Structure 1
Amino acid sequence: MKKSSNLQNLQFAQAMLREMRQTAQADGESLLTYLLEMAYLEASDRVRATWASRGNNAKPDT
């Protein structure tokens, strides 16, 4: 997989996880909210690591 499509996939997953977390939180699902938050943070870390490994100066949207 090319790095650019890998980054795009990570950013897509990050955005979807954020939306699902917000929905779970609004529904009062505390455990699910927590698990989705952990997955969101992992995706965010991977996005940042991908940017850092490329040596990009601009910060990712996280």
Structure 2
Amino acid sequence: MQQSRKLENLQFVQAMLREIRQIVQADGESLLTYLLDMSYLEASDRIRATWASKGNKAKSDT
């Protein structure tokens, strides 16, 4: 998968997780809120890793 497409997909998933988390938290579902928090953090980590790999590729191209 193209790096830019992967990044777009990860950002979409991150945004959806944030929205779902807000809904679940408002309903008082603490375990689901926690699990969604962990998923959100994982998506954020993968986004950062994708950005880092893009930066490393750009440096190696010069």
Task: Quickly name the TM-score band, shorter chain normalised.
Answer: 0.7 to 0.9
List gaps (5 residues or longer) in structure 1. 57-62
TM-score by length of 2: 0.86
- Aligned letter for 1:7? L
Matched, 1:43 2:43: yes
TM-score by length of 1: 0.86
Show the counterpart of 1:7: 7
Runs of 4+ residues over 6 Å off in structure 1: none
Q: Give deviations 1:4-57, integer Å, cap 9, x for gaps.
A: 00000000000000111111101100000000000000000000110011118x
> Percent of aligned positions with the same letter in both sequences?
77
How many residues were matched structurally? 56
Q: Which structure's CA Rg is the greater one?
A: 2
More helix per residue: 2
Q: Over aligned residue pairs, what C-alpha RMSD do you find?
A: 1.1
